[in-house]
Amino acid sequence: MSQGQIEITDIHWLMDILQNIDVGLVVLDTDYNIHLWNAFMDSHSGISPQVAKGQNLFDLFSEVPEDWFRNKAEPVFQLKTRTFTIWEQRPYLFKFRNSRPITGRTEFMYQNTSIIPLESPDKRVNHICVIIYDVTDTAVGRLDINQAQETLTEIQSQDALTGLLNRTSWLPVLENLCSKEAQHAEPSSLLIIDLDHFRDLNRELGHDKGDEILKRLGAALQTLGGETHGARLGGELFGLILKGKDATQAVSTAERLRRSIATLNKGSTTLISASIGVAGWHPSVTSAIEWLSCADKALYHSKESGKNRTTLYQHKQPD
């Protein structure tokens, strides 16, 4: 076989590879007109090479953001350097439908792209090649992992029974609010709620009924409205942050809540009630733990005064 025949064979093989390789290949000139459109692009776009060649990329695909793509491509023409895009930055360049059965739950193909310079014999770059990689499987796998991590974080931050925040996740919210209050002195208040005689109720009615009451209380805290953050602090003890409400407003909310709690076991001969401690934020409060301690002291007073009542903590006034 002569050298010429070998070169022709090599070119034939190369053309077969370019047409059948499982990546998209698009060659563009400096006006972004299409010069090469391989079988991958034909298959996924439904546009044949005969139709695509000679057309302007942005006319043919209006969804391709022209300014964004030019910013990516111009350095390739001018500096002869490669550029890349990844699906995390932009899910796709060409809006192709996802055709993979394994990852069929995503509508469009996720893509990474490379843009490489194509030198002419005179060493100038008058054309670039855009290479499109289908990374849908990788992207969906990564998104699944991220979703699983978010779900796990959410589960770890929540009380499993009530769906409220748990103590560990709630305290940083209180600490953050305490810091903001110190800076801006906006009104906010803290409630500590304890169900009276709950252990006796559990023994009389059973733990299933007790759990149902806790769930109902959790739901009640979640539907109070406004910017609130409820938490189950342990057992029958709950915390509630009322952002934007001063002590007087917080006491009013606490009283409504206390009356509502009395109806959680409606129809049963075993009554249920709650003791509540309220502490409005005060400049003397320096930490979440101190704020919590103020509300806890008010709760203790409610308990010692006969239960089923609300007590407001009285901050000491400066001399």
Q: Does 268 fall in a domain? A: yes
Q: Contact at 8 Å (CB) between 96 and 45?
A: yes
Q: Are strands 125-134 and 24-29 parallel, antiparallel or unpaired?
A: antiparallel
Q: Does 149 fall in a domain? A: no
Task: Tokens for 145, please give them.
Answer: 């992992």
Do 171 and 203 reside in the same domain of the chain? yes
pLDDT band at 148 (very low <50, low <70, confident <90, very high): confident
Do 9 and 38 reside in the same domain of the chain? yes
d(C-alpha 29, C-alpha 38), whole Å: 16
Q: How many CB atoms lie within 10 A of CB 168?
A: 10
Q: Which of 143, 167, 198 is the last residue of a domain?
A: 143
Q: Does 151 fall in a domain? A: no
Do 167 and 127 reside in the same domain of the chain? no
Mean pLDDT within 245-257: 94
Model pTM? Answer: 0.56
Do 186 and 104 reside in the same domain of the chain? no
Q: Which of 89, 114, 143 is the last residue of a domain?
A: 143
Do 139 and 162 reside in the same domain of the chain? no
Q: Does 200 fall in a domain? A: yes
Residue 128 sits in a domain whose CATH number is 3.30.450.20
Mean pLDDT within 22-44: 94
Do 306 and 178 reside in the same domain of the chain? yes
Range of the domain at 33: 3-143
Q: Does 318 fall in a domain? A: no
Q: Does 150 fall in a domain? A: no
Length of the chain, please?
319
The full 3-state SS of 25-51, as one line of letters, equals EEEEECCCEEEEECHHHHHHHCCCHHH
Do 133 and 179 reside in the same domain of the chain? no
Tens of pLDDT, residues 192-204: 999 998 888 888 8
Do 111 and 206 reside in the same domain of the chain? no
Q: Which of 143, 171, 186 is the last residue of a domain?
A: 143
Do 201 and 92 reside in the same domain of the chain? no
Do 191 and 97 reside in the same domain of the chain? no
Q: How many domains does the chain have?
A: 2
Do 116 and 257 reside in the same domain of the chain? no
Residue 188 sits in a domain whose CATH number is 3.30.70.270
Q: Contact at 8 Å (CB) between 71 and 65?
A: no
Tens of pLDDT, residues 73-96: 999 999 999 999 999 999 999 999
Do 169 and 137 reside in the same domain of the chain? no
Tens of pLDDT, residues 278-298: 999 888 888 889 999 999 999
